[in-house]
């Protein structure tokens, strides 16, 4: 039995049975702990068979399938291993290139990437896509630890970067670093496009921070590669349905929700057959399907994009609070908020308490702490404690300079 069949067997599927798309619900929806299931199955019994790649490997004179080993970023816990075979890896690269082309990237661009390197998958994935498929010039800067933020904005200016790719938090942070060093986004760094992972805050703050350039969003996780991405119509992310089978399931029951209703993204890769399959992988990332036809006439379904994680939800006095929503509210209604925050949950006197540490610009008006607390109470329906911080004060808590994806929730209960 292949290691992944350990998971399938838990759903009542026996070895040798073929299941169509109408039978995928027999599989157990697995989350970010799927790797532990695979490791357990390997210990239980060594894998037999390789899903049809043996002949291809033999033709190359190799004794086994070459394996690319990377890890997740560890945002939700201990970093987990990511295993890729040559064919599935290159398919992922081609899918990302397809979306880059849909968004308008070309071989003439100079692309500055702030995705992390090391064992983390992100930076390597982007590099392979750009060099193998797009042909653009790449500035592989990585995180603020790999290349200091000050040096990054100077590189962008001196090499005349036209595209910036990465996670929205650090992309926006770089615009602040540029201004702190006398480099004006839109004048000294003339980006025409940003593409990456924007989060619930949306594209407008990002565009304004970088002089009004176009901003595009795409979604994927380390295990699956790109699942969906925006095109130039910006009416939602197109699911790459010739490569990914995406379901949206209720976070509690696992039932598939109606189009337009929010739920967890549960994904099956249709091309992963050279190492192990990805079947009904529960990402715990929340979205909903965009209802209606595509303005571009594309045949793919669309999703609205990433709207938070269902497993990052904190219940306070009967109210569900998502840390990402805190940043959205402050960003929309508090002009002095610079976008950096972290929610810290503690247990005090037998009940849970959330404290929000939020950075404010140096010229922030007085009385802002009470304003923020009242605003969050009105929008979320529960009392939160707000602690104001100076620019850069909480960077060690969030890891904005050192992590590919900064922390927005610290649970100290």
Spans of all domains in the chain:
59-275+282-310, 313-411
Q: How many helices (H) and strands (E) does the chain have?
A: 11, 20
Q: Which residues are 248's β-sheet partners?
A: 265
d(CA 171, CA 45): 45
Nearest to 1 by CA among 35, 33, 46: 46
Taking residue 363's Cβ as centre, other Cβ atoms within 10 Å add up to 7
Q: What is the pLDDT of residue 22?
A: 52
The reported pLDDT for the residue numbered 39 is 44
| Cβ neighbours for 29, distance < 8 A, ≥ 6 positions apart | 249, 254, 264, 266, 280, 281, 282
Given a cut of 60, is residue 296 above it in pLDDT?
yes
What's the mean per-residue pLDDT of the chain? Answer: 83
Say whether pLDDT at 34 is over 90: no
pLDDT for res 169? 82
CATH assignment of 313-411, given 3.40.50.720, 3.90.79.10, 3.40.50.1100, 3.30.300.30?
A: 3.30.300.30
Q: pLDDT band at residue 48, thresholds of 50, 70 and 90?
A: very low
pLDDT score of 211: 95
More confident site: 69 or 214? 214
187 versus 77: which is more confidently predicted? 187
Q: Which residue has the higher pLDDT, 12 or 119?
A: 119
pLDDT in tens, 242-258: 999 999 999 888 899 99
Helix 149-158 and helix 168-180: axis angle, to 10°?
80
Q: Return the higher-pLDDT residue of 37 and 23.
A: 23
The CATH H-level superfamily of 59-275+282-310 is ANL, N-terminal domain (3.40.50.12780)
Whether 274 contacts 307, CB under 8 Å: no
What is the mean pLDDT of the segment spanning 136-157? 94
């Amino acid at each position: 039995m292949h290691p992944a069949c350990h998971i399938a067997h838990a759903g009542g599927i026996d070895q040798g049975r073929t299941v169509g798309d109408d039978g995928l619900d027999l599989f157990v929806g697995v989350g970010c702990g799927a790797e532990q299931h695979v490791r357990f199955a390997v210990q239980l019994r060594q894998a037999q068979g390789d899903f049809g790649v043996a002949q291809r490997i033999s033709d190359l004179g190799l004794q086994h399938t070459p394996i690319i080993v990377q890890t997740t970023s560890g945002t939700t816990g201990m970093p987990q291993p990511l295993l890729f075979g040559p064919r599935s890896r290159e398919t992922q690269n081609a899918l990302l290139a397809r979306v880059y082309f849909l968004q308008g990237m070309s071989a003439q661009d100079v692309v500055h990437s702030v995705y992390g390197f090391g064992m983390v998958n992100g930076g390597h994935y982007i590099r392979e896509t750009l060099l193998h498929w797009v042909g653009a010039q790449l500035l592989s800067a990585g995180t603020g630890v790999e290349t200091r933020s000050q040096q990054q904005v100077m590189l962008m200016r001196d090499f005349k970067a036209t595209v910036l790719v990465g996670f929205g938090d650090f992309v926006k942070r770089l615009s602040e670093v540029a201004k702190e060093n006398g480099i004006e986004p839109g004048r000294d760094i003339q980006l025409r496009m940003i593409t990456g992972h924007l989060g619930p805050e949306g594209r407008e703050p990002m565009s304004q921070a970088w002089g009004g350039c176009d901003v595009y969003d795409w979604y994927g996780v380390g295990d699956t590669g790109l699942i969906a991405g925006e095109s130039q119509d910006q009416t939602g992310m197109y699911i790459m349905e010739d490569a990914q089978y995406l379901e949206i399931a209720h976070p509690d029951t696992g039932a598939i929700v109606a189009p337009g209703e929010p739920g967890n993204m549960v994904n099956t890769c249709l091309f992963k057959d050279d190492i192990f399959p990805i079947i009904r992988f529960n990402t715990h990332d929340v979205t909903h399907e965009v209802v209606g036809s595509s303005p571009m006439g594309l045949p793919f379904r669309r999703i609205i994009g990433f709207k938070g994680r269902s497993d990052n939800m904190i219940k306070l006095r009967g109210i569900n609070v998502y840390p990402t929503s805190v940043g959205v509210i402050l960003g929309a209604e508090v002009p002095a908020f610079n976008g950096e925050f972290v929610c810290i949950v503690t247990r005090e006197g037998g009940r849970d308490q959330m404290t929000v540490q939020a950075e404010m610009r140096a010229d922030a008006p007085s009385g802002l702490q009470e304003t923020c607390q009242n605003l969050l109470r009105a929008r979320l329906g529960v009392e939160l404690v707000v602690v104001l911080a100076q620019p850069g004060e909480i960077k060690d808590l969030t890891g904005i300079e050192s992590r590919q994806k900064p922390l927005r929730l610290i649970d100290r209960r």
